[in-house]
Amino acid sequence: MTETPTSPFDENGYLAPAGPHYDTLCHVRITLVEGIIPYRLRAQLFRSMVQTIYHFIDLLGTDCIKVWIGGHFVSNIPEPTDTDICILVAPEILDHLDKYSRKVVAAFIHPDLDRHHLAKRIYNRWHCSVHILLDEEDTRNPSYPLYQQAKDMMEKLYTRDEAGRPMGYYVCSADRKKSNDQRKAGRNKSLRPSHS
């Protein structure tokens, strides 16, 4: 006798319990695309979200990042219209970026200063809302309280809907290794600001 899988959603349709669910991108796909809710648009959104993540892996030059996946995509809404991700990056990764990559990352850390509208361009292309947070773990760093405050604010957005109901969200590692040839072929210049 096979056991019926239990739903990962609460009575409001949100991932339960509220808060982080540590998993892999593969499991997110199995659960939210191929599993309980196998709808066409979900598959397209998932592919676009993963493509967005891979572009940031290319931009940052590392897959040592954490990704929060939240919003309606991690609910039981059959056909959500977009995905929400927050990419957490260790501050020391920024030390190894060229100046254009730093500008791109800065645009997602401080979207109010993004004069190139990069977040909007990504949203229009891939229907993916992207935020970047610096994930400082050294409490002795003078910037630690500021980074932690930004992280706490973002977590509130990922754990409560507009009506204040609790929501869960996924925390995944970027579980993709790419060869150097794939990195070179896949680099997306559209994420880079112009020289002007």
Average pLDDT value for residue range 49-58: 95
Q: Are 126 and 48 in contact (CB under 8 A)?
A: yes
Q: What percent of the chain has pLDDT over 70?
A: 84
Distance CA 130, CA 123 (A): 8
Q: Between the CA of residue 81 and those of 26, 42, 67, 78, 110, what are the distances in Å? A: 21, 9, 19, 10, 24
Q: pLDDT tens for residues 103-124?
A: 999 999 998 888 889 999 999 9
Q: Domain for residue 194, yes or no?
A: no
Domain-embedded: residue 30:
yes
Assigned domain for 188 exists: no
Q: Give the pLDDT confidence score for residue 79 in this predicted structure.
A: 86
Question: Total structural domains in the chain?
Answer: 1
The pLDDT mean for the chain works out to 86
Reported as a single tens digit per residue, the pLDDT across 12-21 is 999 999 999 9
Average pLDDT over residues 49-78: 94
Q: State the pairing for strand pair 128-134/83-89.
A: parallel
- d(Cα 106, Cα 112) in Å, to the nearest integer? 10
Inside any domain, residue 13: no
Structural domain contains residue 45:
yes
Its domain, for residue 36, covers 19-175
